[in-house]
Amino acid sequence: MTVDASPPPFSKPYWLQQLRRSSLVILVAGISLATLVLMHDLKLSSAVLVFFCIAGVAMVPLQMQANMPARGAGGGEQITEGMAVRAVIAAMPEPTVLLDRVGRVLHLNAQAAQIAPALRHRELALFALRSPEIIAALRDAIATREPQRATYVERVPVERWMELAVTPLQVPTEFGGIDNCFLMTFRDQTPLRRAEEMRADFVANASHELRTPLAALSGFIDTLQGPARDDPKARERFLGIMHAQATRMARLIDDLLSLSRVELSAHVRPEARVDLVAILRQVVDGLEVLAGERGVVIETQLPEGPVFISGDTEELLRVFENLIENGLKYGASGGRVTVSLTQVSPDEGTPEVRVAVRDYGPGIAPEHLPRLTERFYRTDVGDSRAQGGTGLGLSLAKHIVSRHGGRLLIESVFGKGATFTVCFPPFKSRTDT
């Protein structure tokens, strides 16, 4: 069927079927003509002439099929190049290649041509593929006619984890026979792998964060039961530390639960009308004690009247608590944290409500800025832990803000403080839309 060394292009059963059909026609014609001659209704010479005509016509389909290899030399596609097959391969969303029984490319879609540009129509795929895993899978599939799978990593232009499936399949040919082919499909597993890695990292980080205070607690319990049993002073001090560690654990669990709650409702925009000014005042009032302890003044530049957005009050309280508390903790040396709200009108650009929390502390080095909203990312782990931080505050803030249809911007000049700006779309009632 395909080229030179390949076996005949049409299947044996079909060939036999066709031969049987032609023989039957010839036999019936022969008997009918002989009857007519015997009954003296037809001259023998005429009957012989008619018989050869009928026999010739009956042999035409066989002759046509026998000629097929000559026309198809150089490619098995004569048989399998049905328009439907081509259309199906082209429409496959994943890179897909149809190969003949020895692994020559019959069809490939644009996605396949993109990931394996060396694949050529009618040429052996084995010579065009680089990854040893693909080559082995393809070889095994051709040798065993069993489905094969392989995973491999593409390094350029970007690292991608790919999964290959080679599936043997039988493609009906134009003449009713069957052609043994292989379907090679590639699937990009990179997003799945990344998600798996992130999940594994997250679990590892969370357990590590929980284990640290837990280890401290059990260490102090041992000390209190042993050497410090009769030392009231040490007991007092250790109980204080244990309380702080237990608080940190509780906070971590709180943050983890909030994060998973926010993630679950990530695609549902809160619709309640909330006053941002009231929320900011409530947070600032709540943090006055901490500000006093840190020797920091919180300055507010807020409008007199309310400013409404669509939001969830509890979640927004959480965002601004985190941002202002961070300013008090990490920017305490600046002695001042400002909280301001501005409204961008449609004439000035995209209408937005912007809340900026600015501190005048040491700021954040530029290399940390893009990673600050990652879970458990800190510029200084020891400092964060000493401040009772969990490393989840900014990640939580980012998730909440994006659920509100907003953006979190972080700007900092190292040594000159940091500004965290949250931008929200202005309030729109359902009837506005």
- Using CB under 6 A, list all residues that contact ligand ADP: 322, 326-327, 330-331, 359, 361, 364, 372, 378-380, 384, 389-395, 418
Q: How far does CA 125 lie from the centroid of its chain?
A: 28
Q: Which is nearer to ligand ADP, 46 or 333 (CB)?
A: 333
Q: H helices within 265-372, ranges in order?
A: 276-294, 313-330
Q: How far does CA 224 lie from the centroid of its chain?
A: 51
Q: Which is nearer to ligand ADP, 107 or 398 (CB)?
A: 398
Q: How far is the CB of 322 from ligand ADP (least distance, A)?
A: 5
Q: Which is nearer to ligand ADP, 307 or 418 (CB)?
A: 418
Helix 232-264 with 393-403: angle, nearest 10 deg: 30
Q: Which is nearer to ligand ADP, 75 or 389 (CB)?
A: 389
Six-digit token string for 338: 């400002």
Q: Which is nearer to ligand ADP, 99 or 372 (CB)?
A: 372
Q: How far is the CB of 253 from ligand ADP (least distance, A)?
A: 14
- Closest C-alpha to 134, from 124, 149, 147: 149
Six-digit token string for 324: 């202002």
Q: How far is the CB of 389 from ligand ADP (least distance, A)?
A: 3
| Helix, strand, coil percent content, the chain, rounded in steps of 5 | 55, 20, 30
Instruction: Encode 307-317: b = buried (16+ Cβ within 10 Å), e = exposed.
Output: bbbbbbeebbb
Q: What is the DSSP track for 20-35?
A: HHHHHHHHHHHHHHHH
Q: Which is nearer to ligand ADP, 99 or 337 (CB)?
A: 337
Burial (CB < 10 A; 0-12, 13-18, 19+), residue 411, is: middle
Q: How far is the CB of 306 from ligand ADP (least distance, A)?
A: 27
Residue 282: what are its φ and ψ, rounded to 5°? -60, -45
C-alpha–C-alpha distance, residues 189 and 185, integer Å? 13
Q: How far is the CB of 315 from ligand ADP (least distance, A)?
A: 15
Q: Which is nearer to ligand ADP, 326 or 421 (CB)?
A: 326
